Amino acid sequence: MGDSSQQLFGTDGVRGRANIDITVELATSLARAATDKTSNDPVLIGRDTRRSGPMIASALHAGFNSVGVDTVDLGIIPVGGVSRLVRMVGARCGVMVSASHNPAPDNGIKFFGRDGAKLGDAEERGIERRYFSDIPTVAVAGAGVGFQTVMADSVDRYVDYIKDGISYSLRGLEFVLDTAHGAAFLAAPRLFRAVGAAIEVIADEPTGMNINAGCGATHPEALARIVKGRVGFSFDGDADRLIAVDEEGGVVDGDVILAIFAKHLQDRGKLKNDTVVTTVMANLGFKKAMAEMGINVIETDVGDRAVLDAMRTSKAVLGGEQSGHVILEDRATGDGLRTALRLAEVMAATGKQLVELRTVMRAYPQVLTNVTVESKTGWDRNAAVAQAIATAKDALGSDGRILVRASGTEPLIRVMVEAGQEATANEIAASVADVVAQELA
């Protein structure tokens, strides 16, 4: 199948254009490569609403079945549901077919271990080695062939689990839910109705090709226009992210949500070791707010897996990313629905509106510019780009910062600048992005 030095997995599973990069053949072979012989337990497979989802999921089922592994079809379900149900039923692993916040023509495959967390680097490299090896697959026949079943109540089981974890009534609270025409379109409304909240739902009519299109966590402005005194919750395609919108239409990103949770837990003596885990993308305002509260901040590379690893090492009960991935005390994976319900619960517990809770931190103006490049390889060794970054750091001094990195899932170089003034951040980000474009585009 190719050179064993090749890589399939990026920072968030295997992702690319459906039926071009993520083919039926790839999915079938990947399922076979992901199979170990140490368990008779089934594999659970869920998906989002993309048109290509059933095709890729069917190939995964076939791959697992062809090497004697039973599979369970969860249907359309948030990624948090796959993670939770793996633990609930004792599955050998879970698979989510989704490209998360990417546009509809893309798709992807994420694996989750028995603990409900994404596989680590070593486990993914093991799958890659088996995928690219020339070792023939052992054929099974007769009763040895894996069998497919359907978990018809998968969404209900997942919703019931989240609902049962709430300690405060949400009756009287009003929310607008933006489900991004994605995996949350059934589960999110069902969850919030189950806890007695009043809701309006938008972007809940998936066509297979409209997921994330002008809606969801990557486009919170769609929600901000209509909240009108209510709180908005915006999910992405697989619903592992949450971006909220306050009663005045202000966007509440993952940094602010983490800050709200950290203060709430600390006030109740439940923030273990007074520690929160975040990434290098976290806003300077978040770090300053945590310092003022005496909360230790552990910084990691970008990606919720890196956050999870640091949470496990430090035994932290809270971590996340500015993009809206929040990992709670079970240390499993980002779950936008659970995050939304927990945020609503903080409102109920404190009697405060979100617009008041968000004042726990003041965000520095932050500009993120994405530059499409021909190749990301070697970008960090480009002399002109390095000089542009150094010049920017000198200009920002101690009242700002610049972070340049390659996207883990797209052909992009991301330039992020924070400064005391938005105009300064815009100017410096544009100057560095121009150099990146000239050198690498």
Cite the active site residues: 100
Structure tokens belonging to residue 21: 């990069």
Angle, helices 336-350/154-164, rounded to nearest 10 degrees: 30
- 89 neighbors 98 (Cβ within 8 angstroms): no
| Residue ranges of E strands in 236-353 | 242-245, 251-252, 275-279, 296-300, 319-320, 326-327
Helix H or strand E encompassing 223: helix 221-224
Distance in angstroms (rounded) separating the CA atoms of residues 215 and 274? 35
- Write out the DSSP string of 40-91: ---EEEEE-S-TTHHHHHHHHHHHHHHTT--EEEEEE--HHHHHHHHHHHT-
Helices (H), 274-382: 284-292, 304-314, 336-350, 354-357
- Write out the DSSP string of 107-139: EEEEEE-TTSSBP-HHHHHHHHHHHHS-PPPPP
- 336 neighbors 239 (Cβ within 8 angstroms): yes
How many other CB atoms sit within 10 Å of the CB of residue 277?
A: 28
For residue 66, give the nearest of 139, 133, 128 by alpha carbon: 139
- 110 neighbors 79 (Cβ within 8 angstroms): yes
Residue 343 CB contacts under 8 Å (≥ 6 apart), including other chains: 233, 242, 244, 257, 260, 261, 354
Helix (H, G, I), strand (E, B) or coil at 429: helix
